[in-house]
Amino acid sequence: MTETGYFTEENSAEVVTSRNADAKDARLAEVMDSVVRHLHAAVKEIEPTQEEWFEAIRFLTEVGHMCNDWRQEFILLSDVTGVSMLVDAINNRKPTGASESTVLGPFHVPDAPELPMGSDICLDQKGDPMLVKGRILDASGAPINAVKIDVWQANDEGFYDVQQKGLQPDFNLRGVFRTGPDGSYHFKGVKPKFYPIPDDGPVGQMLTRLGRHPYRPAHLHYILEADGFETLITHIFDPDDPYIHSDAVFGVKKSLLAKFDLIDDPARIAAAGFDRPYYEVVHDFVLAPET
């Protein structure tokens, strides 16, 4: 070791990263060098006491202990710190005009049933009825045939079926639809409501101490898949939701705001097959070509 290789407060990051010079995994070394540089810079800025550093380690330990097959507290930590949305943005740079992506979230179920176009995904008839419709288009405005549309949403109380097993029917408010040559889609559901991200763990406690709420504004989730196009993972949001400007996970984008119009005209109610006023949401998506 040279005289300059001793660890000091000033050269701490360089001493650590220089140890990775013989790394067998170049990408790992690149990632760890960057993490170490930024972590050391943060520690130098924060100047934590020994107690504060132990508190940080206790917090991360609790985040780990909170994780199981159904609960991923580290993903929630990534969500509320904006990292999930940043990784999403970096990996989904879309050409102008293409619909934008947002976070997948933890409540997608891969084997939801494929349903005839127009089906009602609300299996328990709770809440305000809603009709959602639109078209899936390419960048030139032409309809896309055979798009697999996977949709899921929380119920009128803000819970997904998987959070209320036994209370909601299995696969409530989920469905897979496939477009025909005209690229159009429509299905029935229930007007969604804002809901808190799971906040009974260390991430929820952190939000409380930061004076932040855990709520996500009302939204519908979509995954759109079609041959020759980039898969789009996204939501549409209710612009009138009280949390539209303060989503706990930063998932809202202007282009993802849809209008939830209350339809109370009896003729339209009857034509849509409802027995009471309903909300109508019209939203088109534009898929980017596969690169």
The binder of ligand BEZ chosen from 216, 229, 236, 241 (CB under 6 A): 216
Q: Which of residues 128-187 bind Fe ion (CB under 5 A)?
A: none
The binder of ligand BEZ chosen from 36, 77, 98, 103 (CB under 6 A): 103
Alpha-carbon distance of 164 to 74, in angstroms, equals 22
| 263 interacts with, out of ligand BEZ, Fe ion, none, CB within 5 to 8 A per kind | none
Residue of this chain nearest to Fe ion (CB atom): 105
Q: Per-residue x/- mask for ligand BEZ, residues 175 to 214, rule CB under 6 A?
A: ----------------------x-----------------
The binder of ligand BEZ chosen from 32, 92, 107, 244 (CB under 6 A): 107
In the complex with Fe ion, the residue whose CB is nearer, 152 or 229, is: 152
In the complex with Fe ion, the residue whose CB is nearer, 105 or 183, is: 105
| 98 interacts with, out of ligand BEZ, Fe ion, none, CB within 5 to 8 A per kind | none
Residue partners of 226: CB distance under 8 A and separation at least 6:
136, 144, 145, 146, 147, 148, 287
Task: Give yes or no for a contact between 205 and 168, defined as CB atoms under 8 angstroms apart.
Answer: no
Alpha-carbon distance of 145 to 131, in angstroms, equals 21
**Which region, judged by CB under 5 A, interacts with Fe ion, from 87-95, 97-105, 126-134, 249-257?**
97-105
Tokens of 51: 């107690």
The binder of ligand BEZ chosen from 105, 129, 183, 217 (CB under 6 A): 105
3-state secondary structure 73-139: HHHHHHHHCCHHHHHHHHHCCCCCCCCCCCCCCCCCCCCCCECCCCCECCCCCCCCEEEEEEEEECC
SS3 content of the chain, % helix, strand, coil (to 5): 30, 20, 50
The binder of ligand BEZ chosen from 122, 249, 252, 287 (CB under 6 A): 249
Task: Give yes or no for a contact between 238 and 218, defined as CB atoms under 8 angstroms apart.
Answer: yes
Which H/E stretch holds residue 39?
A: helix 26-46
Closest distance to ligand BEZ from the beta carbon of 210 (Å) = 16
Closest distance to Fe ion from the beta carbon of 219 (Å) = 6
**Which region, judged by CB under 6 A, interacts with ligand BEZ, from 1-9, 38-46, 103-111, 125-133?**
103-111
Q: Which of residues 39-98 bind ligand BEZ (CB under 6 A)?
A: 79
Alpha-carbon distance of 107 to 162, in angstroms, equals 7
Residue of this chain nearest to ligand BEZ (CB atom): 105
Alpha-carbon distance of 267 to 33, in angstroms, equals 65
Closest distance to ligand BEZ from the beta carbon of 268 (Å) = 30
The label of the residue with tokens 């849809």 reads 258
Tell me how far CA of residue 172 lies from CA of 76, 122, 166, 175, 234, in angstroms: 24, 6, 11, 8, 19
The binder of Fe ion chosen from 88, 105, 194, 249 (CB under 5 A): 105
In the complex with ligand BEZ, the residue whose CB is nearer, 107 or 274, is: 107
> Which residues of the chain form contacts with Fe ion (CB under 5 A)?
105
Q: Which residues bind ligand BEZ (CB under 6 A)?
A: 79, 103, 105-107, 197, 216, 249
